[in-house]
Chains A and B, each alone.
Chain A
């Protein structure tokens, strides 16, 4: 009897869970189920409807919502933007590469958002997946040149920028003061001086002056760009023979050895332990790192931002990360898509102001960066008007040669740095190894 009861319960539980699974896949439930909205999105195709894929609930999705609201209020009252929420930029990238191998792009939304470094390769590899935004009413000269350089292919504009990747160097002014320094000492300084300050700060306060994710190490790229140099030359890796590169690697290794720089094991250690866990007195990265810094409320008012040190002094400017919106060939209403992008992210103050207040998305559109919302001082950064400052800094970022193999290069250089700093490999050997492997991956 007991056994019978148990088996009935077991079967009941299985049926219930089956029903639950079936239910969630067909009705979608309360959470924004990606599969569901894709199905709706791809088949929608109405006169006033567009679909878009994006991934960050606290960042780019509020920006898109702001744009949709703006367009609805000022252009087309019937307009509707269906946002297909995915878990990350890599989801969009996988959809494109697998769509390419199936020869079927019908699962892509009308507009997709993804990281800037890929578009050159994707237009080359999957030419029929994209529609250029040529003919849209956008004043391109109003955007930072460096940002646009990613999405111009054969003279045609493919993407409309959303956020701005301009790098900032934020410092905890209170910790600097404790060690006897001010923000002026780390502005326009050389890396050599910076390391000395870092050593002092560590000895006096126990905090590192900077941290970075050791595996996805963006420092070499940003530091090179601040020098106006690139890790690429004529489409090939330019590493061992690139003196600036070698000098920069030496700076990084020295900074690690002198406890000015801490390399975290991974991204979550970098954000959670080092930045939010109060291990550091400085953060250098694309400005999208600001919301991460702001999570620690008790440090409000203690941070300020400035430019990046360089090898020979004088402020450096760089950019890291950031994404743009691209129209796919699956879009049935290209004119609407172009008009939507032009009248929102193409320079609308209403869109950009709301994107900033709701999602912390900072524009690279120069005129939109001069609005009142942008000029307001930010309490967290001691009243500094950081948003105008960042848009202004963005105009100084030098355009350097880019390559599709950006992320492969990044991880190989990161490995080289770990091997030098930890394993005692010589800079020359480690960089040689990285360059060889990179050339191998590129099939050179």
Chain B
């Protein structure tokens, strides 16, 4: 057990090292990416540019710059943005994480609940018009780009019908912390939650239906039926549980990449200052400290989520647990 944990830790460190080196090298290999003149400001004299280059250590060899950056990111944690010079990126990511977690957590509750409902109903009504309609709706959900859906939602709720009875309750875009009140927090997030969930409802509903249909012909399902269990009980207690294995592994990866910053487009469209928006800011401004911090954060989440998914396998599938 300890060996497995250590192995996992070693893999995590290697992955983080590889990603950080890659981000660093890609940044400095990009033509025009040298941040010196951008930090020095418009029309800075050659003397000022040279002083800034020295001050920020850009005149040192790349391996030394890399080590210095990693030291300030992981050890001293005082690495500051090249654009907003007072913005320390590590605390900034820590402040942004609850925003992303609020967005992704709420959306996940919606998409898990609705997709299980849709997938199960469609599988139960396999071949019927209802099945086809639900699967068609799922496909439409998968096909709609989230940034477009978000902008359309904003157009309807913030602009065209903002004063109508339907949407007059919708508050201005942005994030309000949970400490400021449950309704204030939730009302700012309801539209973003639904927008982000649409794609995943479609995807997960279709995956679950396919797994349920495949499982219905398995031996253990036949055995359950032979024991005289009702079709509903067979479907919910036997079929659904094993069919959730793919669902859970997908969920683990999707949830992790969203919490790690993958909800970037949703956050930008709805003005939510989460990790995704920080990543966006970092990329738009080619701000290496911010890019590095958000990428490292995201990588940690994905690696940890993989480990958690492995644990869930054990709980869900007795065959894995028993080493069969």
**Do A and B belong to a common assembly?**
no
**B interface list, Cβ under 8 A from A:** none
B-contacting residues of A (Cβ < 8 Å)?
A: none
